[in-house]
Structure 1
Amino acid sequence: MFDLINSVVSLPLSLPVLLPMDIDINPNSNGLPGISQLRTIVGAVMTVGLILSVLALIVSAVVWGFGANSSNPHLAGRGKVGVLVSCGAAVICGASVTLINFFWNVGQSV
């Protein structure tokens, strides 16, 4: 009984270790039809995101101003949060290509 348990425990140690082969795969910019149209669509979505971020910033600033001038701290707080969120959204939309390239490079170095 003890020999059976000992042989089962030592079984994984006797299996050969398989290491992955040296694989090098890079993005293919012409591998699928419609890649250029997809890039155009992504660029348009980034532009719309930036425009909506500016609109949200303007609306939030107006809400913040109304809340501050009407002595309504809840409305002023909501306006402040809206300003921060719209600025964060603009940063993410503007830096999305740089962020993706950075994390791609980090993933390639792993």
Structure 2
Amino acid sequence: MAKTIAQASDNTAGFPVGEGGSGTPDGMRLRSLLPLVGPDFGAVGGSSQLRAIVGALLTYGLIISVLMVVTCGATWAISSSNGSWHAASKAKTGLFVALGGAALTGAALAWANWLLDVGAQL
């Protein structure tokens, strides 16, 4: 039989003392706490509009990255053929930065869609 706080002096939390005398509630598991704690996804409306805005912004980012790849690639080729090694080095750096930006932008679109899908399932 479980003791109450008045019967057990070592229980300071106010829970019935179980058979082990630990002062924790009997039968209380993490699963029983999960419905009580969690984000309120109903408070953030318009996830379809957010998805459209994020998609449009990331599309612009991809277009700019592709234009930078073309521009930096052409600049690298022209400056290398003319013997301007400093300009070729800067164009090569710009090309790699644009490729990295395109990769990150594409990954960001996939990540944002995944987060919106996961948020809808919670």
| TM-score normalised by L of structure 2 | 0.57
Alignment of 1:74 onto 2:86? yes
For residues 6-35 of structure 1, what are the alpha-carbon distances to aligned partners after superposition, in whole Å with 9 as ceiling and x for unaligned?
Answer: xxxxxxxxxx9xxxx95542472x433333
Counterpart CA distance in 2 for 1:69 and 1:33 is: 55
Corresponding pairs, count: 83
| Aligned ranges 1:13-52 → 2 under 5 Å | 22=33, 24-26=37-39, 28=41, 30-52=42-64
Aligned to 2:77: 65
Shift of residue 98, structure 1, vs aligned partner:
4.7
More helix by share: 1
Separation in structure 1 between the aligned mates of residue 80 and residue 52 of structure 2, nearest angstrom = 42
Unaligned runs of 5+ in 2: 1-12, 14-29
Extract unaligned runs of 5+ from structure 1: 1-15, 106-110
- Percent identity over paired residues: 31
Q: CA RMSD in A?
A: 2.7
Please identify the structure whose Cα radius of gyration is greater. 2
**Partner deviation per Cα, 1:9-66 (whole Å, 9 max, x = no partner):** xxxxxxx9xxxx95542472x4333332222111000111111100000000011011
User: Given the alignment, which residue of 61, 81, 88 partners 2:100?
Assistant: 88
TM-score, length-normalised on structure 1? 0.62
Deviation at 1:99, TM superposition (A): 4.9
